[in-house]
Amino acid sequence: MTAGRGPDACIDAVGSEAHGTSIDAWYDVIKNKLMLETDRVHVLRQVIHCCRKGGRVSIPGVYGGLVDKIPIGAAFGKGLQIKMGQTHVHRYLSRLFGYIREGEIDPSCIITHRLPLAQAADAYRTFCDKADGCVKVVLQP
């Protein structure tokens, strides 16, 4: 597909569940349990290794803490452009709400839980732990 050169651009959508099964993925699990690392970055490592020389790596979302074993030398050697950060939600919010109101976008496929605002702390815990198949929670006043 890429004639062996790798993709032009790769995305690590932080927050999307992607669990590797290689040695480095187990390394992340163990470090996470020991509180030595707070995020699992298996996908980011794979993205850096797979992207072509001179390619682009995009990391939308939040790595909220410590990470380890990022192949920065490989990224440097390939001359990768790395862009990361949170999405500027406020810039797009009114337009997105318009799409939802008009029926052009239906977010219901990712809303797994609807709870009253009074249960916000429990809702966050459920979301954070990915308990009960939780993807997104809508809090209702």
Give the span between the Cα atoms of 135 and 141, in whole angstroms: 20
Alpha-helical (H) ranges within 37-102 are 42-50, 72-78, 89-101
Q: Is 130 helix (H, G, I), strand (E, B) or coil?
A: coil
Question: In the prediction, which pLDDT does 4 show?
Answer: 74
Residues contacting 105, CB < 8 A, separation 6+ = 96, 99
The residue behind tokens 């939040």 is 62
Q: What is the CA radius of gyration of the chain?
A: 18
The stretch 54-77 carries a mean pLDDT of: 86
Task: Please write the tens of the pLDDT for every residue from 68-98.
Answer: 788 999 999 999 999 988 888 889 999 999 9
Token look-up 């992607």 returns 18
The C-alpha torsion from 70 through 62 and 16 to 133, rounded to 10°, is 130
Give the pLDDT score at 35: 60
Under a CB-based contact definition with an 8 Å cutoff, are residues 61 and 36 in contact?
A: no
State what percent of residues in the chain have pLDDT above 70.
77
Nearest-angstrom CA–CA distance, 77 and 122: 45
Domain ranges within the chain, ordered by starting residue? 9-85, 89-140
pTM recorded for the entire structure: 0.61
Distance CA 56, CA 77 (A): 13
Which of these ranges, 41-45, 69-73, 115-119, 136-140, has the smallest mean pLDDT?
Answer: 41-45
